[in-house]
Amino acid sequence: MTHNIQVTDNVFKRIEALRHKGNNPRLNLRISVNGGGCSGFVYDYAMVEESKSDDLVISKENTKVFIDPASQEFISESIVDFIEELGASYFSIKNPNASAKCGCGNSFAI
């Protein structure tokens, strides 16, 4: 099944920066959706070394983003970005499937 999840160059650049900061060139980003948050679901981001066998892997050169099958359903057709603003930097998911989202942007409802 194709989920058409787009990942911006800013995300891959941030993964590279986190690899350098953590002194671990094997780190990649895992995105998952979990129950919770103030709107019902919450995005979770973790730096991990390995993918799981059923993960969707989106890569650019040697940098990867892993998304498990259940989470793929929630963020299908989304754009994953890394935002840097005055006083804040964060991963962001522009999710057309979300019917509502929390003020922090990390929690959403379907």
Query: Starting from the edge strand earliest in sequence, which strands make up the sheet with 6-7, in order?
Result: 6-7, 79-85, 88-94
Amino acid letter for position 52: K
Q: Which residues partner with 10 through β-bridges? A: none
pTM: 0.87
Per-residue model confidence as pLDDT tens for the chain (110 residues): 557 999 999 999 999 999 999 999 999 999 999 887 665 778 899 999 999 999 999 999 999 999 999 999 989 999 999 999 888 899 999 988 876 565 555 555 55
CATH assignment of 6-109, among 1.10.8.590, 2.60.300.12, 3.40.50.150, 3.30.450.20: 2.60.300.12
- Cα–Cα separations (whole angstroms), residue 46 to 4, 32, 49, 99, 110: 21, 9, 10, 25, 23
Residue ranges covered by each domain of the chain: 6-109
* Rounded Cα–Cα distance for residues 106 and 81 (Å): 13
